[in-house]
């Protein structure tokens, strides 16, 4: 393997544009295509928003403060690259080689880093003593200190020994991630999915993990001083609530619905953890009161939840296909990664001819699949729909302002 260069190269704008155009032809298998080879280039503050750099070679490149919002970097080689303070919001980095890359302070909110490699690798560093363009090389793990990864997809990411102190991983998907020995002290994992992640020997001192999902995670030898483990979602508890079996409470509520309130009892499940039920598919749970309840990963396909109170409930990664949520109160609810295809989230007609809108004020629907869902008249004020799929969805008269 050839030795890494000692000088950072420059490139003029016209040549860079030509290289990007030739690479676009290469990616689409068109005539005249040529893979972009941008290794060890000085691209500081470059404007590359939306650029297609799939499989491009950017190893050792200086991309400090560059703008790569929604750029396509799947399979790209970014080993040892300087991405400090770069803006990669919404970028696609699936399978990218980021070994030894420096992402300190970078914005990766909503980015897709599935199966990225952030393990140790040679990092190209500017040598302050030898001049601004002279490089020295040192073997270092990937660095994400103070980076923003809120809502990012990091499934299966390889971060053994990587550093991400004080990084923002809120509501990120780190399921099956490999983080043994990673330095994560002071990081924010609130609402993150760490299920089946390998955190053996990781430094989590002072990390915030409110609502983090960790069933199956390996925390052996992890340093957790200052972390309130009680705030994390562990394996689902026994199917009990208030001393009663959840199955009995659900059955009594269905009877109440079917009898028009003559028999059975309306269930009040505020803050209940229903994950152990596994499935409520097709159940009739109209007007259920379950604010703050945990439905994480539950099969709710075709469930009837008209007029229910699910304020602040956790419905992440749940299956809500064809569910009836007309007039539901879902303000502040978490529906990240949920499947709501064909769901009914329109208004509910009341007896006096009035309509009650489905309230999704401040709800999080990041990466939710809302294709062909009915959202007519829904309140979507301050709702987070980053990377949600909305093809074929009906959003007539939806309230989005404020």
* pLDDT for position 130: 47
Share of the chain above pLDDT 90, in %: 74
Convert the chain into a string of H (helix), E (strand) and C (coil).
CCCCCCECECCCHHHHHHHHHHHHHHHCCCCCCCCCECCCEECCCCECCCCECCCCECCCCECCCCECCCCECCCCECCCCECCCCECCCCECCCCECCCCECCCCECCCCECCCCECCCEEEEEECCCCCCCEEEEEEECCECCCCECCCCECCCCECCCCECCCCECCCCECCCCECCCCECCCCECCCCECCCCECCCCECCCCECCCCECCCCECCCCECCCCCHHHCECCCCCCEECCEEHHHHHHHHHHHHHCCCCCCCCCECCCCECHHHCECCCCECCCCECCCCECCCCECCCCECCCCECCCCECCCCECCCCECCCCECCCCECCCCECCCCECCCEECCCCCEECCECCCCECCCCECCCCECCCCECCCCECCCCECCCCECCCCECCC
Mean pLDDT across the stretch 353-376?
Answer: 94
Q: Return the closest-CA partner of residue 378 out of 362, 361, 358.
A: 358
Per-residue pLDDT band at 69 (split at 50, 70, 90)? very high
| Global pTM value | 0.76
Share of the chain above pLDDT 70, in %: 92
* pLDDT for position 237: 72
Per-residue pLDDT band at 136 (split at 50, 70, 90)? low
Per-residue pLDDT band at 252 (split at 50, 70, 90)? very high
Checking if the pLDDT of 129 tops 60, the result is: no
Q: What is the pLDDT of residues 19-40, one digit of tens each?
A: 999 999 999 989 988 999 999 9
Mean pLDDT across the stretch 289-318?
Answer: 95
Mean pLDDT across the stretch 391-396?
Answer: 94
Mean pLDDT across the stretch 29-53?
Answer: 93
Q: What is the pLDDT of residues 163-203, one digit of tens each?
A: 999 999 998 999 999 999 999 999 999 989 999 999 999 99
Checking if the pLDDT of 324 tops 90, the result is: yes
Count CA within 13 A, CB hemisphere, residue 240: 5
* pLDDT for position 3: 59
Mean pLDDT of the chain: 90
Per-residue pLDDT band at 228 (split at 50, 70, 90)? confident
Mean pLDDT across the stretch 237-256?
Answer: 92
Task: State the residue for tokens 């270092």.
Answer: 140
* pLDDT for position 132: 46
Higher pLDDT, 3 or 260: 260
Q: Where are the domains of the chain?
A: 236-402
Higher pLDDT, 254 or 12: 254
* pLDDT for position 361: 97
Of 58-67, 114-123, 324-333, the one with minimum mean pLDDT is 114-123
Q: What is the pLDDT of residues 101-114, one digit of tens each?
A: 999 999 999 899 99
* pLDDT for position 376: 95
Show the tokens assigned to 152: 């990012």
Task: State the residue for tokens 């470059």.
Answer: 46
Mean pLDDT across the stretch 57-79?
Answer: 95
């Amino acid at each position: 393997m050839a030795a890494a260069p000692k000088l950072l190269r420059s490139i003029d704008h016209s040549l860079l544009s030509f290289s990007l155009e030739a690479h676009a032809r290469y990616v689409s298998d068109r005539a005249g295509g040529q893979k972009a080879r941008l290794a060890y280039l000085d691209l500081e503050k470059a404007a590359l928003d939306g650029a297609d750099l799939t499989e491009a070679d950017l190893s050792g490149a200086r991309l400090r403060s560059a703008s790569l919002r929604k750029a396509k970097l799947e399979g790209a080689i970014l080993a040892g690259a300087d991405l400090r303070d770069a803006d990669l919001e919404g970028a696609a980095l699936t399978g990218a080689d980021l070994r030894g890359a420096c992402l300190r302070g970078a914005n990766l909110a909503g980015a897709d880093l599935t199966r990225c490699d952030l393990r140790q690798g040679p990092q190209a560093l500017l040598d302050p003593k030898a001049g601004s363009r002279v490089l020295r090389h040192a073997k270092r793990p990937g660095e994400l200190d103070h980076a923003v990864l809120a809502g990012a997809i990091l499934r299966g990411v390889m971060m053994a020994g990587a550093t991400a102190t004080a990084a923002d991983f809120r509501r990120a998907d780190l399921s099956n991630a490999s983080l043994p020995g990673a330095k994560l002290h002071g990081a924010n994992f609130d609402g993150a999915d760490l299920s089946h992640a390998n955190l053996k020997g990781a430094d989590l001192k002072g990390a915030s993990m409110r609502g983090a999902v960790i069933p199956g995670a390996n925390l052996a030898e992890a340093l957790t001083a200052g972390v309130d483990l009680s705030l994390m979602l562990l394996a689902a508890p026994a199917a009990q609530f208030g001393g009663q079996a959840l199955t009995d409470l659900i059955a009594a509520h269905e009877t109440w619905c079917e009898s028009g309130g003559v028999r059975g009892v309306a269930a009040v499940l505020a803050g209940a953890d229903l994950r152990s039920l596994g499935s409520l598919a097709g159940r009739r749970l109209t007007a259920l009161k379950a604010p703050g309840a945990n439905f994480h990963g539950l099969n709710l396909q075709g469930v009837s939840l008209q007029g229910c109170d699910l304020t602040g409930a956790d419905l992440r990664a749940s299956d809500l296909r064809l569910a009836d949520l007309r007039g539901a109160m879902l303000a502040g609810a978490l529906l990240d990664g949920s499947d709501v295809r064909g769901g009914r989230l329109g208004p509910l007609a009341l007896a006096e001819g009035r309509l009650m809108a489905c309230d999704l004020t401040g709800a999080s629907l990041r990466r939710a699949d809302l294709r062909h869902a009915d959202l007519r008249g829904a309140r979507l004020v301050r709702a987070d729909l980053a990377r949600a799929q909305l093809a074929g969805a009906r959003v007539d008269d939806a309230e989005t302002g404020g």
